[in-house]
Amino acid sequence: MLRGLDARGADEDLIMVKVADRPTLEGTTTVYLRSGVSSVVRDRQARVRETFEQLRNAGILEDVDVVEWPERARTPADTDVEAEAVAHYDEFVGLVGAGALEPFFEERSATGTDDRVVDLPAICIVHRDDGTPSALYPHWSDGTHHSIEDCTRALCAGDDIGNLRPS
């Protein structure tokens, strides 16, 4: 009796297999999807969304939220969505540093009334335990790229996705 996703189909699609003794990953996993993307990226986003829905439905993940965010966010923010996106970016910078987030997130000075602009990735995954981030994809750490695919593969294999360590 397996519970997880650990095999690939002909089209590189993950196949659900159940593991009875595998505990549910507690906490909240948030999948951020950028709006205004190309059809190719939109298809990739749809596959990621479907995978995380399957993981939740199989009881592998306790809670999954899917949040749409803009292509870029400015400060001062024009909308609550922009303000939240910038707040998340600032939180991530505090966890791993700005360099670890490049080129997925890019921050630059703005002109006019804006202080700065943050370009957001097409897909970002954050897992929180009791509100504290324990996993962030994508980012770099000590020369290792933590990709969206690394996250989904780890979840499928029953491996730990936590890639943020308390300081």
Strand partners, 126: 30, 136
Report pLDDT digits (tens) over 129-151: 999 999 999 999 999 999 999 99
pLDDT of 4 reads: 46
Q: Is the dihedral of CA 86, 67, 104, 153 positive or negative?
A: positive
Contact 30, 61 (CB under 8 A): no
Mean confidence (pLDDT) of the chain: 88
Q: Which of the four pLDDT bands, split at 50, 70 and 90, describes residue 13?
A: low
Domains of the chain, start order: 24-157 (3.40.30)
pLDDT of 119 reads: 97
Say how far apart CA 52 and CA 157 lie, in whole Å: 14
The pTM score is: 0.87
Tell me which of 7 and 117 has the higher pLDDT: 117
| Nearest residue to 55 via CA among 32, 33, 22 | 22
Tell me which of 46 and 2 has the higher pLDDT: 46
pLDDT of 112 reads: 78
pLDDT at 153 over 50: yes
What φ, ψ does residue 96 adopt, rounded to 5°? -125, -10
Report pLDDT digits (tens) over 36-65: 999 999 999 999 999 999 999 988 999 999
pLDDT at 103 over 50: yes
Report pLDDT digits (tens) over 82-102: 999 999 999 999 999 999 999
